[in-house]
Amino acid sequence: MGVHLQGSLTLESVESGLRFRARFGERTHLLDSGEGAVAPDPVMALLEALTACGAMDVISILRKQRRAVTGYRIEMSGERSETHPRRFVAIALTHHVSGHDLDADAVRAAIELSETKYCSVRATLDPALRIVHEVVLHDAGA
Amino acid sequence: MGVHLQGSLTLESVESGLRFRARFGERTHLLDSGEGAVAPDPVMALLEALTACGAMDVISILRKQRRAVTGYRIEMSGERSETHPRRFVAIALTHHVSGHDLDADAVRAAIELSETKYCSVRATLDPALRIVHEVVLHDAGA
């Protein structure tokens, strides 16, 4: 037996445009594409899903280790092929972690644990996709 | 040379919680997980990204064929493994298309074209992931 996830996706712009509303109970996202888009498109949603999946693991692990994290921002960069279906061929994530007494090796170990063991999104992507990480620490001072 | 996509993901709930804001220019999503989450989590974002990617292709193709679509909703269902990393093992999408003079074969052909040729999200996922589609037409009447 597996774990089931259910939701719906509804076209909001019937006449023209590509605006859809995703719903999982009360939790929703707007997805939009093309000229004048007001929300992330599906490819952006994929990149944010992958990045957030890892980021949630990392912050959870650092908190369990009682490390004083005061800020966490990840710069995401994805390279796509030029020809259809324009898949991602490489993704680079730079993790900016702010706090006290931080240890880059601990952050790298948390990223590694997420990628190999916990992140459901990573495990659903093509295993051949290359993802590289960089860790930058920002000491918040004493 | 490839096509680049850039954005950022920032932790919004520093003390506790797993709330992150994804930004691609002015286009943003909140991602949230755990108790009291107010936005889709990363696994939901992955499912909506895949579904919206295909849906945008399908509605674009149907519009080019000048088919009168008055509504389009997709019920999404994903099955995940019970053991970590709890990857998706099967996804079922039921496409409810409303309109006049609709043709289920035309919708199925558009879905097929998206999956095999255009959908960047599908092409970034594990090729072994099983995705099944069902098409339900709702005639909007004369």
Whole-number pLDDT of residue A142: 57
CATH 3.30.300.20 assigned to B42-139: yes
Query: Are residues B87 and A7, on separate chains, in Cβ contact within 8 Å?
Result: no
Residue from the list B6, B63, B82 with its beta carbon closest to the beta carbon of A77? B6
Q: What is the band of B142 on the pLDDT scale with cuts at 50, 70, 90?
A: low
Contact flag B48-A87 (C-beta cutoff 8 Å) = no
- Which among B86, B94, B91 is positioned nearest to B41, based on CA atoms? B86
Residue type, B124: T
Averaged over A69-78, what is the pLDDT?
97
Given a contact cutoff of 8 angstroms between Cβ atoms, the answer to whether A76 and A51 are in contact is yes
- B123 DSSP assignment: H
Peptide bond preceding B127: is omega within 30 degrees of 0, i.e. cis?
Answer: no
Is B39 part of the contact surface with chain A (CB cutoff 8 Å)?
yes
A130 and B CB contact within 8 Å: no
pLDDT digits 0-9 by tens, A8-22: 999 998 888 999 999
B128 touches chain A (CB under 8 A): no
Q: Is residue B131 within 8 Å of residue B121, measured between CB atoms? A: no
Check CB contact under 8 Å for A120 and B85.
yes
Residue B141 above 90 pLDDT?
Answer: no
Residue spans per domain, chain B = 1-39, 42-139
Q: Given this model, what pLDDT does residue A3 score? A: 75
- The pLDDT-based confidence of B43 (bands split at 50, 70, 90) is very high
pLDDT tens-digit series, residues A75-128: 999 999 999 999 999 999 999 999 988 999 999 999 999 999 999 999 999 999
**pLDDT score of A140:** 80
User: So what's the ipTM on this one?
Assistant: 0.96
As a dihedral over the C-alpha atoms of residue A110, residue A116, residue A118, residue A123, rounded to 10 degrees, the angle is: 140
Give the pLDDT score at A139. 87
| Sign of the Cα pseudo-torsion (B13, B44, A61, A122, in order) | negative
Rounded to whole angstroms, the Cα distance separating B36 from B44 reads 15
pLDDT at A2 over 70: no
How do residues B89-128 score in pLDDT, each as one tens digit?
999 999 999 998 899 999 999 999 999 999 999 999 999 9
